[in-house]
Amino acid sequence: MSTLEAAKSGPPRRLGPELAAFGRFMLRELKPRGKLLTPFNLISLPIILAGVVILVIRFTYGLGSVTNLSQEFPWGLWIGFDVVSGVALAGGAYVITFVVYVMRLEKYHPIVRATILNGLLAYVFYAGALVFDLGRPWNIINPVIGNSFGYNSVLFLVAWHFMLYMAAEFVEFSPVVAEWLGLDRVRRWLVRLTLGAVIFGITLSTLHQSGLGALFLMAKAKIHPLWYTEFIPILFFVSSIPAGLSMIIIEGTISHRVFRDQIDPRRHGSFDQIIVGLAKGATIALFVYYFFKALIFVHEHHWWLLGDGWGALYLIEVVGLALVPCVLFAYGVRYRRVGVIRTAAVLTILGVVLNRLNISIIAFNWNSSTHYYPSWQEIVVTLMVVFAEIWVFRWVVSRMPVLRDRPVAARVEVRKRWKRTGT
Amino acid sequence: METYRYLNIFETKGLEYLLLMCFLVLFVLLIRYLEGNKHPRNDGV
């Protein structure tokens, strides 16, 4: 029985003792567990602290005090990496929830909670990093409260979709929080909402992944012709599938090593089978993505653009970091080589990040006399966002039933239902 | 009057059609390749 349920069990139910029990429970959970002086902590903590100091300076003295952004280059690393790339890498959540809750492929159920958590945190931190880049961050509330709605802007769509998708992902993850708090009745209600939230979330994802690409449609004159196409929205959506699946493969591999003690030993073997299944999906998605790129390239008659450095960069991205990982994935799936699959997953992530950076930063204003290079402060804040997300992910996984089986209370409840229904 | 040469693979978008056909054929081959190891041969039967 959990602490909260123990507090509730007494006959006179009063709010005061319940709140006190909840407070004690939260204080206990907030205390750090495990070793503090680990290599990861020693590297990440100073960067997070430095990032916080830089953000204080940024919000006090403005964007110009810590970034190399200008009127000509208003979007830099914070948008290009955190928002545009980060959202693509979070695409695994909508793919896996579709596979598990809609297609009913139960094989992937063991990874669904960790994937939803990863997606939720990615949106909270990476999309949340949008606030750093806004010259007047207090205006972020405008699309919500109806002050200068701007409903004909793509950013209006993206803002609403981000907000609604974060809410949908929280609903998908909320049964885990209820289990952690021992609120079985609440958990049962939240589980009933899951399928609706999943369908809503998938619909939103397909639209805002492509919506992020649609942001660049209005910058035709600024983006290098090798990267500009009217099909950017479709390419953004299609590439988010292998990016998300690759992220699950890498994140799952690391989680299985770091949180090995939390996972049922019977599941260790099945995880390799899950990786092979995910790799199969990534192969097909990358194959489709590669042919989309090839068709657009041929359609636009871009042969003459391959001769210079931009052409080399394009070939590295499309051949080296899309076609090559596709072949590696296929080989890994065929011969069950998990190491090859992991290598392909890393290459795919690099390819999608390079694609997003090319469109939003590197090949943006490519014919300008001046160029944008991120300042060291921008790099530190970007690292801070990544490390902060990992810290929160670690905190949640080590306390809530994300990787481990359901707690005893939930198992007892399920057993009671089995006896009642005979199923 | 502008002339149109049907033999020009670029003007007729022939290259795009060829690429699309390659995609469809290769897609089937890819799926067969990925599924190839699923059912190992049983020479004894």
* Closest to A279 measured CA to CA, from A322, A328, A341: A341
Are residues B16 and A298, on separate chains, in Cβ contact within 8 Å?
yes
Are residues A299 and B23, on separate chains, in Cβ contact within 8 Å?
no
What are the chain B neighbours of A291 within 8 Å (beta carbons)?
19, 23
Rounded CA separation A24/A12 (Å)? 20
Are residues A291 and B19, on separate chains, in Cβ contact within 8 Å?
yes
A414 pLDDT more than 80: no
Sorting pLDDT into bands at 50, 70 and 90, what band is A227?
very high
Contact criterion met (CB below 8 Å) for A365 and A73: yes
**What pLDDT shows up at residue A405?**
65
Q: Which two tokens stand for residue A250?
A: 């890498």
A333 pLDDT more than 50: yes
The residue of chain B with its CA nearest to that of A294 is B19
Rounded CA separation A190/A172 (Å)? 8
- Domain limits, chain B: 1-36
Total Cβ atoms within 10 A of residue A172: 28
**Burial (0-12, 13-18, 19+ Cβ within 10 Å), A145:** exposed
Distance in Å, alpha carbon of A88 to nearest chain B alpha carbon: 24
ipTM of the complex: 0.78
A364 forms beta bridges with: A223
The residue of chain B with its CA nearest to that of A330 is B34
Lowest mean pLDDT among A29-38, A174-183, A334-343, A360-369: A29-38
Q: Which two tokens stand for residue A129?
A: 């990093």
Q: What is the pLDDT of residues A29-43, one digit of tens each?
A: 878 777 888 889 999
A80 pLDDT more than 80: yes
**What pLDDT shows up at residue A277?**
94
Indicate which of A273, A300, A327, A333 best probes the interface with B, i.e. most B CBs within 10 Å of its own CB: A333
- Domain limits, chain A: 36-219+372-402, 225-255+265-369
Sorting pLDDT into bands at 50, 70 and 90, what band is A421?
very low
Are residues A295 and B19, on separate chains, in Cβ contact within 8 Å?
yes
What are the chain A neighbours of B20 within 8 Å (beta carbons)?
295
Of B13, B16, B34, the CB nearest to A280: B34
Q: Tell me the percentage of chain A whose pLDDT exceeds 70.
A: 91
Distance in Å, alpha carbon of B1 to nearest chain A alpha carbon: 24
A392 pLDDT more than 90: yes
In this prediction, residues A142-165 reach a mean pLDDT of 83
**What pLDDT shows up at residue A6?**
52
**What pLDDT shows up at residue B43?**
47
Total Cβ atoms within 10 A of residue A335: 11
